[in-house]
Amino acid sequence: MENILLCHGGVGSKNRSLPDMNGIAKNGWNQDPLTSVVNAIVIMEDDPNFNAGTGSVIRIDGSIQMDAAVSTPGRFGSVIGIEMVKNPVIVARDVMEKTPHVMLAGSGAIDFARRCGHKPYDPKTPRSIEAYKKMIEGIKENMTENEKYIEFKKLIDSGLIEEPHDTVGAVARINGKFAAAVSTGGASPMMRGRVGDVPVPGAGIYCGDQGAVVATGIGEDIAKRVLCYRIYSKIGSMPLKTILEKEIGYFGETLAGVIAVSRNEMAYFSNGSMGTDLYAEKI
């Protein structure tokens, strides 16, 4: 058996190349599985090439709202629609370890982050600002949020602007213990308040005594299928890679990808290009 840290940088879209994943798992490695997955996510949140933390997608109203979650067997913490913090995944860990709750959202999540010492931070980058400018060009000011969404979606479908809709994620099995973490800057286009699969236990993340699973792709579809719990519940019934292939097969052409570890296996699979990185040590 090996100690394993497996990371992904999201499922690539037709208009976007995948960021370099080289060395993320090795640089995030720690003998504690939770610290390992959080370290790996922080590396990706701090890299503006990923759609998480710095470089997150700007929403239709011009704001950036981010989601993140962490989990170990029997424990969970997530933040939903958090703004103006550098590392949402660390705030999610704080929710799990410092509160009696499992989720904090919006202004409550921001207030909690400030109490925990997370300073105000603007995750916008020149790249994300430029993508937003391309979206709003030619959009009428008196349009409703839904009308803007429809117009922005046409631009994406035509290939005129980028289509970031992924997450970053990590799973670990170290000394027989499991952990998982995910973070996202959301999808494009998206209305203020939109929530995908990332902060919902069982949807974009699940971790139990038999393994850990995280997903990436179109969050609405992943959430509706409760993808990560479906995969986790089948661990041991067939090879792990086969479970992933079968579950992703239900998505058809809708982008989805998964990484997972169990007590004896590790696997990853997607129906689009998915950047991954693995670091392993013999026990």
Q: Would you state the structure tokens that stand for residue 245, as one six-digit string? A: 């292939």
- Residues 71/232, Cβ–Cβ less than 8 Å: no
How many Cβ atoms from other residues are within 10 Å of residue 172's Cβ? 32
Rounded to 10 degrees, the C-alpha dihedral 183/186/191/193 comes to: 0
Q: Would you state the structure tokens that stand for residue 111, as one six-digit string? A: 């207030």
Q: Would you state the structure tokens that stand for residue 150, as one six-digit string? A: 């429809």
Q: Known catalytic residues?
A: 167
Alpha helices for 7-161 (secondary structure H): 24-28, 33-45, 88-98, 106-115, 126-136, 145-157
Half-sphere exposure of 51 toward its Cβ, with a 13 Å CA cutoff?
27
Pairing state between β 75-82 and 103-105 = parallel
Rounded to an integer, what distance in angstroms lies between the CA atom of residue 77 and that of residue 98? 10
Q: Would you state the structure tokens that stand for residue 159, as one six-digit string? A: 């290939």
From residue 205, alpha-carbon distances to 28, 65, 196, 232 in Å are 19, 19, 12, 10
Q: Tell me how far the alpha carbon of residue 17 is from its chain's centroid.
A: 17
- Residues 25/275, Cβ–Cβ less than 8 Å: no
Tell me the helix, strand and coil percentages in the chain, rounded to 5: 30, 25, 40
